[in-house]
Homo-oligomer: A and B are copies of this chain.
Amino acid sequence: MRVTIHDVARVAGVSVASASRALSGRRKVTPEIAERVARAAAELGYQPNAVAKALRDQTTGTIGMIVPGIGNPFFTTIVEAVERELQKTGTDLVLCASQYSPEVEARRLETLLARRVDGLIISPCDIEASVPAVLDAARRVPLVQLDRHIASAGADWVGVDDEAGMSQAVDHVVAGGARSVVFVGSRLMNSSARLRLGGFERAVARSGVQTAAPLLGEFTLEWGIEAGRRLLDGGPLPDAVVCGNDEIAVGLLRSLRTGGLRFPADVSVVGFDDVGHATMCDPPLTTVRQPVEEMAAEAVRLLGQVKADDPRPAQRVAIAPSLVVRQSSRPAAGATPERPGRSTGRETA
């Protein structure tokens, strides 16, 4: 049997109330009692039971986080950032992976709620199918969506301004001389996929360059490789390819290079995220950087403000990304590589 505060009190020869007060310091005790309790606790190796404390205090000191999968470097990066941020406030993170399945996601939400986490940070895997579970959870506990979000309003969100990011990517390749641009992304089952394709299409329409039907698969290296093969097999190549994330872009670089193409001479490739291996691939990848640290900090900050089922209007915080120009794309003639700039857009939906 584990040692409880009763044991400490007994050994110290005081009441449990005094033992508790001596240990927590939340009310004064005489130096002598403090001393006896401290000695007894040390001697017995007493460690407070966080379960009992959570029940009594009605708070667990715990935040739940659900991401689609931890195999994707973008999500591991953002998880690490959130963990660092929470550490500052002394709250623990309970991490779950939904495995890209709305059913698993709903189950994870249930168990996190049953375990009475003090708040939830979630990147919903499906823009439609995740709606009921996310809204239900938001009604019961403070909840902030991070990165991905559901179609419905009613829950706060922090993420990147996909529209602005795509705009920068397209403008960059157009400035580099591209007359035709193709988008390679993910099927439109999540908000990132939709917003990035939408942003791409609007940017392309605005700048008047040619484009073909987008290639939509998954946010994976494998899909990038496959998409590269399809581009090689199907007719004339575009001058530039803008990708939905870096995984796809790295895969694409690989299969296009295997096909004999050189970057950026034959084709420019731009990614999205700037996490993981974007700097390490060959050639280093021009990409739209998500300000992950800021997003994590903002999500945690917002979570502290949110009350469950708050009538306050849902906040949507879109942080501006920045284009990082490396060697996979042709820069504008005479242009100097851009430096990461920062600005924050904020709106209320």
Is the pair A77, B73 in contact by a Cβ cutoff of 8 Å?
no
Residue of B nearest to A62 (CB): B115
Chosen A-B contacts, 20 in total, with CB atoms closer than 8 Å, are A47-B113, A48-B114, A49-B55, A49-B114, A51-B60, A51-B115, A52-B55, A55-B55, A69-B80, A70-B76, A70-B80, A76-B76, A80-B97, A83-B97, A92-B111, A92-B115, A94-B94, A222-B280, A225-B280, A258-B282
Given contacts A50-B116, A51-B54, A113-B47, whether A71 and B60 have CB atoms under 8 Å apart is no
Given contacts A51-B51, A116-B51, whether A77 and B71 have CB atoms under 8 Å apart is yes
Which of A95, A110, A111, A254 counts the most chain B CB atoms within 10 A? A95
Give the contacting residue for A49; candidates B70, B76, B94, B116; CB below 8 A. Answer: B116
Contacts of A79 in B (CB 8 A): 70
Q: How far is the CA of A77 from the CA of B69 in the complex (A)?
A: 11
Q: How far is the CA of A113 from the CA of B51 in the complex (A)?
A: 10
- Interface residues of A: mostly helix, strand, loop or mixed? helix
Give the contacting residue for A70; candidates B48, B50, B70, B254; CB below 8 A. Answer: B70
Seen from chain A, the residues whose Cβ lies within 8 Å of a Cβ on chain B are: 2, 47-52, 54-55, 60, 69-71, 73, 76-77, 79-80, 83, 92, 94-95, 97, 110-111, 113-116, 140, 221-222, 225, 251, 254, 257-258, 277, 280, 282
Contacts of A2 in B (CB 8 A): 140
Which of A47, A71, A111 counts the most chain B CB atoms within 10 A? A71
How far does the Cβ of A229 sit from chain B's closest Cβ, in whole Å?
A: 13
> Ordered nearest first, which 7 A-B pairs have the shortest CB separation?
A50-B114, A50-B115, A95-B95, A70-B76, A51-B54, A51-B55, A51-B116
Residue of B nearest to A57 (CB): B51
Contacts of A115 in B (CB 8 A): 50-51, 92
Contacts of A111 in B (CB 8 A): 50, 92
Is the pair B221, A280 in contact by a Cβ cutoff of 8 Å?
yes
Contacts of A76 in B (CB 8 A): 70-71, 76
How far does the Cβ of A1 sit from chain B's closest Cβ, in whole Å?
A: 9
Contacts of A221 in B (CB 8 A): 277, 280
Is the pair B251, A280 in contact by a Cβ cutoff of 8 Å?
yes
Q: A47-B113, A95-B95, A222-B280 are in contact. List 17 more A-B contacts (CB 8 A).
A: A47-B110, A47-B114, A48-B114, A50-B116, A51-B60, A51-B115, A51-B116, A55-B55, A70-B76, A71-B73, A71-B76, A80-B97, A94-B94, A94-B95, A221-B280, A225-B280, A254-B282
